[in-house]
């Protein structure tokens, strides 16, 4: 399991391929560009890189597919995104901002921080504190 080390930018592209396939069944260059607010040639170039890394495949002039490894990596990123968004919303951040900030945070946080955030999100709202006295029972 050689974890591929992706740049933030490539992580964004890969994640978007995954999201568009979930939403529309197909990930096209046009839609990736629109969603990420870049131009199509930027997407094309990123797709070439992701192909080199074995994370996506593509028939010329058609939609982008994920390899099994690509699907794995993409869903890890997407899960981080979802976790972070819930986290920010739990802190009181508005949905739109939570989505935007989750999108930046998902690329940079260490595993340890992500774990702690997960603990926080999974803690019932009432007793969200006391990391030491915590897990006895939900009252």
Partner DNA sequence: TTCGTAGATTAGCCTTTACTAATTAGCCGA
Partner DNA sequence: TCGGCTAATTAGTAAAGGCTAATCTACGAA
Which residues in this chain contact DNA in the complex, by CB under 7 A?
Answer: 7-10, 12, 28-30, 37-49, 58, 60-63
Between CA 79 and CA 91 the distance in angstroms is 18
104 touches a second copy (CB under 8 A): yes
The option from DNA, a second copy, none interacting with 105 (CB < 5 to 8 A, set by class) reads a second copy
37 touches a second copy (CB under 8 A): no
Between CA 105 and CA 80 the distance in angstroms is 9
The option from a second copy, DNA, none interacting with 128 (CB < 5 to 8 A, set by class) reads a second copy
Between CA 23 and CA 82 the distance in angstroms is 15
Q: How far out from the chain centre does Cα 96 lie?
A: 16
Between CA 64 and CA 58 the distance in angstroms is 5
45 touches a second copy (CB under 8 A): no
- Mask for 59-98, x = binds a second copy (CB under 8 A): -----------------------------x--xxxx--xx
The option from a second copy, DNA, none interacting with 98 (CB < 5 to 8 A, set by class) reads a second copy
Helices 29-36, 8-24: inter-axial angle, 10-degree rounding = 120
Between CA 115 and CA 30 the distance in angstroms is 35
Residues near a second copy (CB under 8 A), total: 27
Give min distance, CB of 66 to a second copy, in A. 27
7 touches a second copy (CB under 8 A): no
10, 46 contact by CB (below 8 A)? yes
């Amino acid at each position: 399991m050689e974890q591929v080390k992706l740049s933030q930018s490539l992580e964004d592209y890969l994640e978007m391929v995954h999201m568009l396939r979930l939403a529309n069944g197909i990930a096209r260059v046009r839609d990736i560009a629109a969603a990420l607010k870049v131009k199509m040639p930027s997407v094309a170039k990123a797709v070439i890189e992701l192909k080199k890394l074995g994370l996506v495949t593509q028939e010329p002039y058609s939609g982008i597919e994920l390899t099994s490894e690509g699907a794995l990596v993409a869903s890890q990123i997407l899960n981080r995104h979802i976790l972070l968004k819930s986290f920010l919303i739990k802190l009181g951040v508005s949905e739109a901002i939570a989505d935007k900030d989750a999108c930046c945070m998902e690329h940079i946080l260490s595993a340890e921080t992500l774990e702690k955030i997960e603990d926080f999100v999974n803690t019932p709202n009432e007793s969200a504190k006391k990391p030491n006295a915590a897990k006895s029972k939900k009252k």
